[in-house]
Amino acid sequence: MKFRCILRELGMKKLVANCVLLCMASVSLLAQPPAIVRPGAGPLVRDQVFHSASLSRDMPYRVLLPAAYEAGGRFPVLYLLHGLYGDYMNWDTRTHLEEYAKATTLIIVMPDADNSWYTNSATVPADKFEDYIAKDLISEIDGKFRTLRDRHSRAIAGLSMGGYASIKFGLKYPELFVFAGSLSGAFNAAQDLDTLRPEFRAKLLEVFGSKASTTRADNDVFSLISAAHGDTLPYFYLACGAADSFLGTNRAFAQQLSSKELPYEYHETSGGHTWEYWDRELPSLLQAVEHALRAQHEGAVLPASRKKLHSKPSPTG
């Protein structure tokens, strides 16, 4: 009887010890860095959350680290912005971005920005989405990852709302970016888009304010390009489908770049405002980013003559 009691006591001690070990293992797991979402031969995919001081709240983002990242060294960064009604996962889940990224050495950062137009709101003081990108996010990425921390190694691009924002950031913060790219950019966002597209009107008025608002003038890419100085600006990359409703504003902005004799390229091919089009054009955008960053580090000028590169417009649209 006494022997059975001893065995029972030993069993209880073993159970307690195992529970302690399990708790310790759980704490250890919680202390680990964020897990890789989809491991493989391609880029490393990680989801992160950080606290934005400008927005006074936590914001998520997804980052693709090049396969070579684990071997050490520092890497250039591309900030890739989503469109209206989108989120930080769109580029990765609705295109073949991971497959295309295998051919690059870029850290690709995809932030979330709600439907903010990446702008400090004219009517909601707490919604400082421009500051969130230009100040908080870049500081977060440079602090957490092994980046090359200068404008010559930093690019920004996006689609639709994100395309508008990328060009705007390039114009307003040339000290931060050497490349600004857009696919199907909604360049008339601060002008007349609320009139042309009533379904966007409520949010556009919230973000940009009334027609007389200074927020509109401060975020109108056509006004910004008129006042810009060419020697300090990034290289601009524009692409738009010939069946896209934003084709007119893309052609108009390309013409502005041409008249200012700024370095840029404009591609107009078949396609509409669709993920099929954006997925098809994404490899060319990534190649242009890599080419621009490589040229900067090699001391070349893009383009070599500092004149425009202009794709012949499609006869349709």
Q: What's the rounded Cα separation, in Å, for the pair 98 and 32?
A: 24
Tokens of 180: 């600004």
Tokens of 198: 């009533």
Q: What's the rounded Cα separation, in Å, for the pair 185 and 247?
A: 9
Q: What's the rounded Cα separation, in Å, for the pair 316 and 268?
A: 10
Query: In 3D, which of 208, 281, 213 has the Cα closest to residue 244?
Result: 281
Mean pLDDT of 163-177: 97
pLDDT one-digit tens code per residue, 57-77: 999 999 999 999 999 999 999
Burial 100-128 (b: 16+ CB within 10 A, else e): bbeebebbbbbbbbbebbbbbbbeeeebb
Residues 271 and 243: beta-carbon distance below 8 Å: yes
- Which CATH number applies to 36-310? 3.40.50.1820
Which of 18-22, 79-83, 105-109, 171-175 bottoms out in mean pLDDT, i.e. has the lowest? 18-22
Please state, for a pLDDT cut of 70, what percent of the chain lies above it: 81
pLDDT value at residue 302: 52
End-to-end CA distance of the chain: 93
**Exposure of 223 by Cβ count < 10 A (0-12 exposed, 13-18 middle, 19+ buried)?**
middle
Task: Tokens 């870029």: give the residue.
Answer: 106
Q: What's the rounded Cα separation, in Å, for the pair 77 and 143?
A: 13
Residues 38 and 45: beta-carbon distance below 8 Å: yes
pTM of structure = 0.84
For 231, the enclosing helix (H) or strand (E) is none
pLDDT value at residue 26: 36
Mean pLDDT of 34-60: 81
Residue type, 14: K
Q: How many CA atoms lie within 13 A of 107 on its CB side?
A: 24
Please name every residue paired with 60 in a beta bridge, in sequence order, or none if there are none: 49
Which of 18-32, 109-123, 213-227 bottoms out in mean pLDDT, i.e. has the lowest? 18-32
Q: What's the rounded Cα separation, in Å, for the pair 278 and 233?
A: 25
> pLDDT band at 3, cuts 50/70/90?
very low
The length of the chain in residues reads 317
pLDDT one-digit tens code per residue, 82-92: 999 999 999 99
Residues 115 and 162: beta-carbon distance below 8 Å: no
3-state secondary structure 243-301: CCCCHHHHHHHHHHHHHCCCCEEEEEECCCCCHHHHHHHHHHHHHHHHHHHHHHHCCCC
Residue 214 to residues 126, 185, 303, Cα–Cα distance (Å)? 17, 22, 35
pLDDT one-digit tens code per residue, 277-290: 999 999 999 999 99
Mean pLDDT of 187-201: 97
For 133, the enclosing helix (H) or strand (E) is none
Please name every residue paired with 159 in a beta bridge, in sequence order, or none if there are none: 183
Which one is predicted more confidently, 309 or 122? 122
- Report domain extents, the chain: 1-32, 36-310
Query: In 3D, which of 211, 50, 208, 199 has the Cα closest to residue 138?
Result: 50
User: What is the strand order of the sheet 264-269 is part of?
Assistant: 44-52, 57-65, 107-111, 77-81, 154-159, 179-183, 235-241, 264-269, 309-310
Residue type, 177: F
Which one is predicted more confidently, 242 or 41? 242
